[in-house]
A and B are shown apart, each in its own frame.
Chain A
Amino acid sequence: MSSRENILGRIREALQVKAPQPHLQAPLTPTNHPPQGKEWLPDGGESLTESLAILEGQLAKLKTVLVRVPNETLAVEAVKLLSQEKGWKQVAYQGHPLVTPIAQSLACQTWQADADFNKQKLEQCDVSLTSCETIVAQLGSILVSSQTSGGRALSVLPHAHVVIARTSQVVPDLADAIRQIKERYGQKLPSMLSFITGPSRTGDIERILVLGAHGPKELFLVLIDG
């Protein structure tokens, strides 16, 4: 017998004796089981205005820098200013209608990383510019994927990460983000989906918060109205 058969056999045997349901405050019915149970989780807002307000609060607490701009032209200007202020020299970007025009307008060495991937070169970059799938107001999370955010490494290897998105990409909570992903991809999910919640951090030394453990030290979200 293979290990697979052995383990599954032991599981079947073990489960012949039923375990009692957990001691619950109130019995759960299919209607309040997740994701419908989301009304117990932190609030994500009822309208886009509410969601955006919650998102702003969450991002500030998580040390993600939010830059709100009314249109794409001003998004270009905002990122230009950022790059001057931070002194970025090498910029890796994802080929994307929202991102490419911004990257190409920067007075830096720019490189479309998803067109000709090179991990050694990516490691040297100061910053990456990508799009994202969805933004979760409830938690301040930005969902990136290997298919629509320039692969796996682009959003985590350079020292800073700038995400360009539209306010229409903001959803109230995690359950909404998951539903959207299922609708968008069905059975063909990207090989990586990552909820990014603030810049990389660690508290491993004396439980003191330090940003930029291995991933980006700085995370910027440029949010374009519309």
Chain B
Amino acid sequence: MSDPKAIFLKDASVSTADGDQRAFIRKALGGYYVNRDLQKARFRNWEKARDAASMAKWSAVNDLGNQLEKFVGNFEKNGGVVHWAQDAAEAREIILKIAADAKAKAIIKSKCMTSEEIHLNDALEKAGYGVVESDLGEFIQQLRGEAPYHFVFPCMHVKREAISELFTKHLGTAPTNSPEELTMIARRHLRQLYVDADIGISGANFLVAETGQISITENEGNARLTTALPKIHIALAGIEKVVKNLDDLAILLPMLATAGAGQPMTCYNTLYSGPRQKGECDGPEQFHLVLLDNGRTRLLADPEQRDALHCIRCGACLNVCPIFKNIGGLAYGTTYQGPIGSVITPHLRGLKQWNHLSGASSLCGACTDACPVRIDLHHHLLHNRRNAVKTNPTLFDRVFHFGFNFVIQRPKLFAFGGKVFRTTLPLLKKLPLPYLSAWLKTRDLPTPPSQSFRAQWKDQNHE
């Protein structure tokens, strides 16, 4: 079974039936809502700040070519090396070559969703490198052999007992149910690995064109260590991460923290502008940046949905999404889960195979309201549905639209159809029909009026 839609339907129905898991996710998100609202209240005008944040990204994305060239020029002036990758395979090759040239053995990684997108760990492991994820959530998911559940909270679905078992099995530590002790086990295990690693791989949250700096946002300090101790630092980023000015971060960093995790500011927000400079006592000797397209220019070419490239990956849209909260993050089968994932995955991987995600939405608009950069998420889900019907209509779409067109243009046929429907509707209630019977178990089906609207209009009004 390799059809993403079939896998999605199966996985989503299994995870939705797991009431315990759903309650666990709701509870885990409960604290987030409280903290997010507290921090939002500290903003003097959250809505205006959203406007400014969305304009900052809009003006960079709509001038992407110039801004990228400016960024690259400044990055190179600071002593970094830029590599351009059109797709996942090219990005993997570039990174493998840097590792081979450096005769590296051990690689430490900080959180980087783009590396999940290109399946970097598999490629590095196959080539014989030891790769360790250092973000606690990613480290746990790596040990579990599972993709991240949520692109900001990778293991939010895993209970502490399971983590304790996992650590006992892989690290040989004594069982414990304390999140603090579990965190300290990972801390102790990883510290020496930072010191020993030859290469540190990170992502990037923003690329600042004005200064050629990359900005990395994190809470744990693992990205700071990953980019401080190994001899080589490789950062991997999508081309859409660029912002024009350093000043833009004065708005984007607090908004990312508040929308993403209900914090005033994430614990470490770090700007890197090159390898170790003259007069600095530590830092990597080489600093590489891999700029990845991998379908982003396809999304850029669609002006209607171009604003999806404004995404700063805060995860706010997942946290409020009724679909995410019920089916969970793994069922999506994508690198980016939730509403933003459902919008962009069809562009990155193909509309035909991934359009079903746009149907997995109640179109309630909670995601659009939550988005700090005002991406019109729920309308884009509708746009994807429309585009899918236009470009790849299913047999049902074709028959249905043909039938609808046929009937709607013939008033007599339409009136006859209405009459048939009005008389048979009460009977439908009694028949054991798929879907309908389940729906009607807890709902009333109103009795249809004896006359159609058109007939009533004629009688009552006016002709």
Contacts and interface: CB of A to CB of B under 8 A. Distances in A.
Q: Is chain B a partner of chain A in the same complex?
A: yes
B282 interface: yes
B246 A215 contact: no
Contacts of A152: 224, 227-228, 280, 282-283
A195 interface: yes
Contact of B48 (A15, A25, A141, A201): A25
Interface stretch (A45-53, A69-77, A99-107, A202-210): A202-210
A182 B228 contact: no
B64 A205 contact: no
Contact of B54 (A24, A42, A138): A24
Given A10-B293, A22-B307, A41-B44, A204 B225 contact: no
A14 B140 contact: no
A7 B190 contact: no
A35 B247 contact: yes
A58 B134 contact: no
Contact of A119 (B42, B195, B251, B376): B195
Contacts of B304: 19
A131 B302 CA distance: 49
Interface string B89-108: 01000000000000000000
Interface stretch (B4-12, B177-185, B322-330, B353-361): B177-185
A58 B264 contact: yes
A22 B239 CA distance: 20
Given A19-B303, A139-B264, A207 B153 contact: yes
Contacts of A58: 264
Nearest to B191: A123
Interface residues of B, number: 109
B187 interface: yes
A13 B307 CA distance: 17
Interface in A52-79: 58, 61-62
A226 to B, nearest CB: 26
Interface secondary structure of A, over-half rule: loop
Q: Which of A58, A146, A216 has the most CB of B within 10 A?
A: A146
B174 interface: no
Nearest to A7: B293
Interface string A124-158: 00000000000000111100001100111110110
Interface string A196-226: 1111111111111010111110000000000
Nearest to A61: B264
B274 interface: yes
A43 to B, nearest CB: 6
Interface string B18-62: 000000000011011000000000111111111110111010001
Given A8-B68, A212-B183, A182 B58 contact: no
A173 B43 CA distance: 12
Given A7-B297, A14-B297, A119-B229, A37 B251 contact: yes
Nearest to B280: A146
A189 B272 CA distance: 9
A201 B219 CA distance: 6
Contact of B58 (A22, A35, A147): A22
A207 B32 contact: yes
Interface string A74-112: 000000000000000000000000000000000000000
A32 interface: yes
Given A37-B48, A139-B265, A202 B136 contact: yes
Given A34-B251, A35-B250, A214-B222, A194 B190 contact: no
B315 interface: no
B27 to A, nearest CB: 8
Given A33-B55, A41-B49, A140-B264, A12 B155 contact: no
A214 B222 CA distance: 6
A11 B55 contact: no
B286 interface: no
A14 to B, nearest CB: 4
B338 to A, nearest CB: 16
Interface in B149-178: 153-156, 158-160, 163
B224 A215 contact: yes
B275 interface: yes
B179 A206 contact: yes
B84 A191 contact: no
Contacts of B374: 22-24
A2 B291 CA distance: 13
Contacts of A7: 84, 86, 239, 291, 293, 297
Contacts of A191: 78, 272-277, 280, 283
Given A113-B281, A210-B180, A3 B84 contact: yes
Given A8-B68, A20-B303, A156-B224, A178 B51 contact: no
B266 interface: yes
Given A195-B268, A197-B265, A215 B283 contact: no
B160 A205 contact: yes
Contacts of B245: 34
Contact of B43 (A17, A41, A174, A216): A41
A216 B191 CA distance: 12
Contacts of B140: 204-205
B370 interface: no
B195 A28 contact: no
Given A156-B225, A204-B154, 14 more contacts: A8-B68, A11-B65, A14-B297, A15-B64, A17-B301, A40-B45, A41-B251, A156-B224, A157-B229, A192-B272, A199-B267, A207-B156, A213-B220, A215-B224
24 contacts: A7-B291, A7-B293, A7-B297, A15-B62, A19-B62, A22-B310, A33-B55, A58-B264, A139-B264, A139-B265, A173-B250, A178-B247, A189-B213, A190-B277, A195-B270, A197-B268, A200-B267, A201-B219, A205-B158, A207-B29, A208-B179, A213-B222, A214-B187, A215-B225
